[in-house]
Structures are given as C-alpha cells and as structure tokens.
Amino acid sequence: MADGRAASGENLLYLTDEQLRQGIEAMFFAYRGFTADPDRILTDMAYGRAHHRAIHFINRAPGTTVNNLLNILGVTKQSLNRVLRTLIEDGLVESHVGTADKRERHLYLTEAGHALEQQLSDAQRARMRAAFRDAGPDAVAGFRTVLEAMMDSEMQRTYTRLKESGA
C-alpha cells in the first residue's frame, strides 16, 4: 500500500488477496527452511518427515499410546504402523503392552531414539531461536497467535493439552 501501513502490519484486518498470497508463500518457504536440516539428517537414514513427527511426539509424551499418536498426527493406522515398525526394528522406539489394557501399546524412545530426536530438534530450535531473536518478542507473540488461530478446533485442543502437559 502507498502509506506503508498494511505492509508494516498495522492494518491486518484489511489484507488484500495479494498480501494473503504473499503470506501463504512465505509460510511455504519458511516450512521448507524449517524442515531442511532434519530432512538432510533423515535422508541419510532412509527416513522421512513421518518418522520425524512420530519421534518428536513420542519424545514429548513418553508412554503415549499408538491411538493417541494417531490422533495427534492425523494419519492412517496403516501409515503409522509402517513408520513405527521401522523405528522399532531400528532400535529407536520401544513398544510396551499396556498394564491396564493389554490391547494398548505404549511408545518410548530408546537411548538411540533420544539421540536422534535431539539432533533433529537442535537443528530446528537453532533456526527458530535465530528467527525469534531477529523478529522480537511482539512478533513472536503475534506469530503464535496466528498459528493457533489457523488450527481447527480439534487440533487446537490437542495442541493445548500438549502445551499444558509440559511434556
């Protein structure tokens, strides 16, 4: 805009289609950057992003059930079982039968799984830390607000539960 207000973020309630397109493209490119370092690490192991997401959330909630992980990731049971099978076979994840319900499988990272998770998240934390530092606290708060507002209600509840669990 000519007065620069919309470009500086002061007039966010009246974004043009072009400004929204630029935001969408920024999100696509930011996601590519955010996943680039872990993708390189995972490629060497013949793993993909589904493996990374499983490792991340098992680390966040040790002992989580397969059903809970299905809910968080929003993938099919067949897809998750394929990912878990390789992670278990490769010694990164352990599956324990539930004590209260023998049908449940509780998932834990092994020592090797923790090491991989640390390597993957260190790369992402470094990128996120640098971006947050450059943007400043107000931008960080705004960014989180925008991300949370984009979540559908079920994902927002899951996100809130994870955030509140402190896991």
> 6 lies in a domain?
no
Looking at residue 102, its pLDDT comes to 83
Structure-token match 């934390």, residue found: 125
* Sign for the pseudo-dihedral over CA of 68, 74, 76, 82: negative
Looking at residue 6, its pLDDT comes to 44
Looking at residue 1, its pLDDT comes to 42
Decide if pLDDT at 4 tops 60: no
Looking at residue 43, its pLDDT comes to 93
Looking at residue 165, its pLDDT comes to 78
> 162 lies in a domain?
no
Looking at residue 39, its pLDDT comes to 95
Looking at residue 11, its pLDDT comes to 56
The Cα angle at residue 66 between residues 63 and 72, in degrees rounded to 5 = 95
97-146, pLDDT tens digit by residue?
A: 888 888 889 999 999 999 999 999 999 999 999 999 999 999 999 999 99
Looking at residue 2, its pLDDT comes to 46
Domain that holds residue 47: 13-135
Decide if pLDDT at 153 tops 70: yes
> 167 lies in a domain?
no
Task: Give the whole-angstrom CA distance, residue 117 versus residue 99.
Answer: 27
How many domains would you assign to the chain?
A: 1
Looking at residue 162, its pLDDT comes to 83
User: Which of 65, 100, 99 is closest to 84 using CA atoms?
Assistant: 65
Looking at residue 158, its pLDDT comes to 85
> 166 lies in a domain?
no
The CATH number assigned to the domain holding 124 equals 1.10.10.10
58-99, pLDDT tens digit by residue?
A: 999 999 999 999 999 989 999 999 999 999 999 999 999 888
Looking at residue 5, its pLDDT comes to 45
